[in-house]
Amino acid sequence: MSTSHASTYPDLFGRCVADAIPGILRRQRADGAIVYDEKAPIVYPQQAIFPLAYVWAGLDPDRRHHHSTAVRDAIIKLGDHLVSRYNDKGEFTYDSYGNLVSGVDQRLTYAWTEALRILREAGGDFAFDRWGDRIVRACETLIAHRLQRLVGIRRFIGRIMGTSTNHVSLYVSTIHRAGEVLERPDLCSFVLPIGRALAADIHPDGYWEEHGDLLRSGGPTPSYNYLTIKGMGLMYAWTREAVFRSAIDAATRFHARFAYPDASFFDLIDERVRSGHDSAPRVWGLFAFSHSPEGRGAAIAHFRGWRMHHQHLEDVGPETLARHCENHLYWNPGEVVPAPFERPDHSATMVLPAGIFRRHAWSIGLSSMRATNAEDPAYRDNGFALERQKLFSIWHPRTGLLIDGSHSKHQLENSTFSSLGEYANDWWPCGGSVSEEDGDLIVRAAYKTFFASVRVTPVDDRTLQLHFSVDPAGCRGPFTAGFTLARSASQARSLTDQVLELSAEAFVATGKDLGGGFRYGPATISGPDDFSLHWPFAPFNSYTADHKPWHHDHLLRVSVVLTPERTQASFTVTMDG
């Protein structure tokens, strides 16, 4: 990728924001609130205050909405709405998919702060004093309720934070910015030591754990780490301190290596977020990648992949638009080279037993990280701490993610391997290894009562084989081996041409019923006569009160039963030519 290509960035971020403004204006209610989806949490789209201020001040490349009366009126109404919704502690109360939430929303508070700064610098006449009062109250509440307990600590552990590292990063950046903008140096001086400590606590691989420990055994959460790097990137932009630069450089290297070739996040190593929740590449904090040629290449690949998922910009939510305002305002231009994850021979492994490998057209994820959340009482019943239970994932350019690596919770049937037992069932890996041997990619895992492995053989650009094996060292099983298919079509089709609708009606079919296999989009999957194809598998949903998934997140599941007498089974995946 040439340097001249890079000259279109960061302007494309800004043009995205300007193109989306009519969608914000169209969705403003009489009370000033911005609502895209009546069922979704109302707090997030109120971040529209940032992109509205950004375009009114003419910060976008074409100054399309500069001093627009319609935009100014929308800002006034939204500002009044926020003043009315923030209570005396700066808290915002709302429903989040059946969960009643009342607290400070750091992303909204930061967006409001940036809007105040931008409008004030542009000479705008808005209710800055009333806005500032609510923002300061929110920051003081964050300090009292969230950050006092973190004073002086060097390692950030979920059970002490009471939240996740991405939240702490955003608390720090939000409060620091409010201190600068509202001339409250005490706010800056309070959060700076915490921010420095968080930056220094980055894992050697370049991520922050969400549910970890002092031994760093929790592993990454790539999806939310984009928010963590965003907060650290802002702190570097404002302070220019080396500790923040070192952290974002390490995080950039991580995200440039551990992603699928289309820049979608590597779900197999994520113990917080499933790919089906939102499979588009993340665009949070891309500006923080822009301090190196490789990082700029990774950021551009993320944005390009995101645009493929979002053709109609007027439907893009304000939270994402606020991130694009940041991507434009804080971008560092320079030379661009392709991200490692885009290269046809890419391989990357982690300190923990996990890695991602590009072989022929396929991208293959392997992981045998220990399922620590299931064993820890602090996280066992925490809906935001998924259980590591899958060992591999498969991506192909014809399908994107084909066999997902997304984890679940309290769902044995989502596991790559499981065993039924007299005393307790066994499906959480305790650890293992990943390796490449004679052209095959192999993940080996130890469970409590058995050993298991998956050998992946990439034959050519169109064909890949999966070999499942168990060693019944401590139990006789039976054992179930299986995988789930990322949702990409409304139907499957047997090799005897029977249509299998992925509708409200459940079904189970065997390999023999299906003529030896089935077609799903451009992929054909074949296996032994006794494999089972199940519909629907309903994965755990962290974001709803009842943890039931949305229908579009239902999956097809393939499984086969193994025993001490029959310890192996194989499947072949073939792509259309």
Is the link from the previous residue into 10 a cis peptide, with omega within 30 of 0?
yes
Structural domain boundaries enclosing 190: 3-341
Alpha helix (H) ranges present in 310-389?
318-329
Domain edge (last residue) among 285, 316, 341: 341
Backbone CA torsion sign across 196, 198, 203, 205 = negative
In 3D space, the residue among 506, 512, 558, 513 whose CA is nearest the CA of residue 532 turns out to be: 558
Does 273 lie in the same domain as 374?
no
Does 325 lie in the same domain as 253?
yes
Is 104 strand, coil or helix? Answer: coil
Using CB atoms within 10 A of its CB, is residue 343 exposed (0-12), middle (13-18) or buried (19+)? Answer: exposed
Does 332 lie in the same domain as 363?
no
Q: Is the CB of residue 488 less than 8 Å from the CB of residue 513?
A: no
Is the link from the previous residue into 549 a cis peptide, with omega within 30 of 0?
no
In 3D space, the residue among 481, 486, 488 whose CA is nearest the CA of residue 451 turns out to be: 481
Q: Is the CB of residue 378 less than 8 Å from the CB of residue 275?
A: no
CATH number at residue 505: 2.70.98.70
Does 507 lie in the same domain as 483?
yes
- State how many domains the chain has: 2
Domain edge (last residue) among 307, 341, 375: 341
Does 353 lie in the same domain as 322?
no
Does 358 lie in the same domain as 225?
no
Residue 144 is given by DSSP the state I
Separation of CA 48 from chain center: 22
Domain edge (last residue) among 322, 341, 360: 341
Q: Is the CB of residue 347 less than 8 Å from the CB of residue 357?
A: yes
Does 314 lie in the same domain as 183?
yes
* 211/372 Cα distance (integer angstroms): 9
Strands (E), 417-503: 417-419, 431-437, 440-446, 451-458, 463-471, 479-485, 491-494, 499-501
Does 348 lie in the same domain as 337?
no
Does 426 lie in the same domain as 337?
no
Does 107 lie in the same domain as 141?
yes
Q: Which two tokens stand for residue 111?
A: 């967006």
Is 101 strand, coil or helix? Answer: strand
Q: Which two tokens stand for residue 324?
A: 């694009």
CATH number at residue 258: 1.50.10.20
* 209/169 Cα distance (integer angstroms): 12
- pLDDT by residue for the chain (577 residues), tens digit each? 333 345 689 999 999 999 999 999 999 999 999 999 998 899 999 999 999 999 999 999 999 999 999 999 999 999 999 999 999 999 999 998 888 889 999 999 999 999 999 999 999 999 999 999 999 999 999 999 999 999 999 999 999 999 999 999 999 999 999 999 999 999 999 999 999 999 999 999 999 998 989 999 999 999 999 999 999 999 999 999 999 999 999 999 999 999 999 999 999 999 999 997 678 999 999 999 999 999 999 999 999 999 999 999 999 999 999 999 999 999 999 999 999 999 999 999 999 999 999 999 999 999 999 999 988 888 988 888 999 999 999 999 999 999 999 999 999 999 999 998 888 899 999 999 999 999 999 999 999 999 999 999 999 999 999 999 999 999 999 999 999 999 989 999 999 999 999 999 999 999 999 999 999 999 999 999 999 999 999 999 988 888 888 888 899 999 999 999 999 999 999 999 8
Backbone CA torsion sign across 289, 295, 296, 302 = negative
* 384/221 Cα distance (integer angstroms): 11
Does 431 lie in the same domain as 394?
yes
Does 157 lie in the same domain as 175?
yes
